Homo-oligomer: A and B are copies of this chain.
């Protein structure tokens, strides 16, 4: 099965059209402005000198490159002259500043005395990876090949320094990203040597004790960058979540490209470990800010969840590749979970602000009680920001949204796979596809696939019952039918969820989902008291238009009203349980992704079970 590229798909209306329009009309320029203000675009000219402010950061190139990639995807769909001009100017600066003889480009290293290719942790190859992704996307969108050719020259230089001649001081990227980018470059240019270079990095990763992270960085263990063993031996996903999923994306690519069963098995084991033991219900990954990392199986603390927006995005990249490698609706299930929850929560409803961390519980009062020290415990911030010092997440959202149709469809031998339900049209391989739906506002999907032989429709993991108006068989989680014009109805009641008892952080707690959307309570809707409220497993919910909570940009899914139990206790810290009284009060739940759009307030996904 092949994944259908977003360029073959047009999202027509509904949930994702709203987000794409916002990204195009607001987010792209907002992120550009913040990056320009902070000097990221000016730095591309490589003219910084000691004493100048601001000083370029080691990963600034990647921020701009991801932004260019996002703009390219927007241009692919429709003209956007202002964005085109801004991106083109940035590309011109990069090409003009590239080292003439080698093709090397890095706005930090070219302006500093430090020798290149010596510090593995310094994001040098990571920046190149993003530049390549941006250049490949730019070529696909505009037909302008100069940026891709320029970055290919740099890739050739990397091949020489790291593979052919081995003059670099380390062997594999300290922040994976180049590996998957080289796969894209190989496919865009038709040059096999880039695929070989990607394979070289994958083969070498974890096989070079001399470049272990623990040797070089006093704070890191080798697990931080999954350096502790060769990738083919891995059974768990560990360390820095974004590093891990970027790396595993390339592992899946190379496994697919070379038919490498050992690599595929390793990728499968890591995917299963991530999803079955280490995933928040929101599709967030990363249980601790220490190393921005996984911790261990079933350790999923809510208030201190790290769950970086980029980690959820990186999981979407990885799962899409796993979906190509092996047909199993679990991959699209995870993609749906991260798209509607862990990724979108990183993005404000007004399109301008971002979360780096996406916790599942916030108590603003307690974020400020640590008064006796200047080193308070790390707690996620309570409001999204427009730019961060480490601003990887905003441009990752900019490139995710216009390409979100990447996840919708697959095709193999006349069968159209519908992985994600988006109101859209598509054309590929002689098929003309029309999918009409309000999903996820409701679960009714009308599909017409002219020119196809079969339809394979994912029945989401959250869905307990559905109807399809044609005969079908279930295969790998997909309802497969010979009909090519069907109506699928996915029943989408509000469902109270529980976690595995091994997840101690969620013990005694329940969460609310409706279709793929995880809900949460906010203090602003519930008199601040959310932490003591109890929800019955069989609670009845009423759906209300999201407009009653949110003015502009209200999400295209309902908010929920129900009844919860509140405890009334006597004064004093402790009392007997017999002295506790209860009362039933109304409560409201909103989509998790929409939290923190109305000022700093309490938030809770896993509420107490009655």
Q: Which residues of A contact B (CB under 8 A)?
A: 214, 218-221, 223-224, 238-240, 275-277, 279, 281, 288, 290-291, 293-297, 299, 363, 365-366, 368-377, 464, 495-501, 503-504, 507-511, 529, 531-532, 534, 537-538, 567-569, 571-580, 608-609
Q: Do residues B575 and A277 form an inter-chain contact, with CB atoms below 8 A?
A: no
Known interface pairs A501-B532, A504-B366; A372-B293 also in contact (CB < 8 Å): yes
Q: How many copies of the chain does the oligomer comprise? A: 2
Most buried by B among A219, A375, A500, A508: A508
Q: Do residues B569 and A500 form an inter-chain contact, with CB atoms below 8 A?
A: yes
Pairs of residues from A and B, 8 with the lowest C-beta to C-beta distance, nearest first: A296-B369, A537-B577, A508-B608, A239-B372, A496-B577, A501-B532, A291-B373, A504-B531
Known interface pairs A295-B369, A369-B295; A577-B609 also in contact (CB < 8 Å): yes
CB nearest to A222 among chain B residues: B372
Known interface pairs A510-B577, A573-B277; A219-B496 also in contact (CB < 8 Å): no
State in angstroms the CA–CA spacing of A224 and B221 once bound together.
Answer: 33
Q: Do residues A293 and B577 form an inter-chain contact, with CB atoms below 8 A?
A: no
Chain B residues within an 8 Å CB radius of A275: 573
Chain B residues within an 8 Å CB radius of A218: 374
State in angstroms the CA–CA spacing of A221 and B205 once bound together.
Answer: 45
Task: With both chains docked as a complex, state the minimum distance between the C-beta of A417 and any C-beta of chain B, in angstroms.
Answer: 24
Q: Do residues B532 and A290 form an inter-chain contact, with CB atoms below 8 A?
A: no
Known interface pairs A291-B372, A609-B577; A508-B510 also in contact (CB < 8 Å): no
State in angstroms the CA–CA spacing of A373 and B576 once bound together.
Answer: 42
Q: Do residues B576 and A464 form an inter-chain contact, with CB atoms below 8 A?
A: yes
A and B contact pairs by CB, cutoff 8 A, 5 listed: A299-B366, A498-B575, A500-B574, A501-B567, A537-B580
Chain B residues within an 8 Å CB radius of A276: 572-573
Chain B residues within an 8 Å CB radius of A219: 373-375
Q: Do residues A574 and B290 form an inter-chain contact, with CB atoms below 8 A?
A: no
Q: Do residues B499 and A574 form an inter-chain contact, with CB atoms below 8 A?
A: yes
State in angstroms the CA–CA spacing of A299 and B375 once bound together.
Answer: 17
Q: Given B296, B504, B568, B574, which contacts A281 in the complex, CB threshold below 8 Å?
A: B574
Chain B residues within an 8 Å CB radius of A239: 372
Q: Do residues A575 and B497 form an inter-chain contact, with CB atoms below 8 A?
A: yes
CB nearest to A280 among chain B residues: B573
Q: Do residues B499 and A369 form an inter-chain contact, with CB atoms below 8 A?
A: no
State in angstroms the CA–CA spacing of A369 and B278 once bound together.
Answer: 12
State in angstroms the CA–CA spacing of A372 and B294 once bound together.
Answer: 8
State in angstroms the CA–CA spacing of A483 and B511 once bound together.
Answer: 60
Task: With both chains docked as a complex, state the minimum distance between the C-beta of A497 and any C-beta of chain B, in angstroms.
Answer: 6
State in angstroms the CA–CA spacing of A573 and B511 once bound together.
Answer: 13
Inter-chain pairs besides A218-B374, A504-B531, 5 sampled, C-beta below 8 Å: A238-B371, A238-B372, A293-B373, A508-B534, A537-B577
State in angstroms the CA–CA spacing of A240 and B371 once bound together.
Answer: 11
CB nearest to A295 among chain B residues: B369
Chain B residues within an 8 Å CB radius of A500: 569, 571-575
Known interface pairs A296-B371, A500-B574; A609-B508 also in contact (CB < 8 Å): yes
Task: With both chains docked as a complex, state the minimum distance between the C-beta of A334 and any C-beta of chain B, in angstroms.
Answer: 11
Chain B residues within an 8 Å CB radius of A532: 501, 504, 507-508
CB nearest to A531 among chain B residues: B504
CB nearest to A508 among chain B residues: B608
Q: Do residues B372 and A537 form an inter-chain contact, with CB atoms below 8 A?
A: no
Q: Do residues B531 and A495 form an inter-chain contact, with CB atoms below 8 A?
A: no
State in angstroms the CA–CA spacing of A325 and B244 once bound together.
Answer: 62
State in angstroms the CA–CA spacing of A238 and B498 once bound together.
Answer: 39
State in angstroms the CA–CA spacing of A220 and B498 once bound together.
Answer: 42
Q: Do residues A221 and B374 form an inter-chain contact, with CB atoms below 8 A?
A: yes
Chain B residues within an 8 Å CB radius of A374: 214, 218-221
State in angstroms the CA–CA spacing of A202 and B52 once bound together.
Answer: 51
Task: With both chains docked as a complex, state the minimum distance between the C-beta of A322 and any C-beta of chain B, in angstroms.
Answer: 17
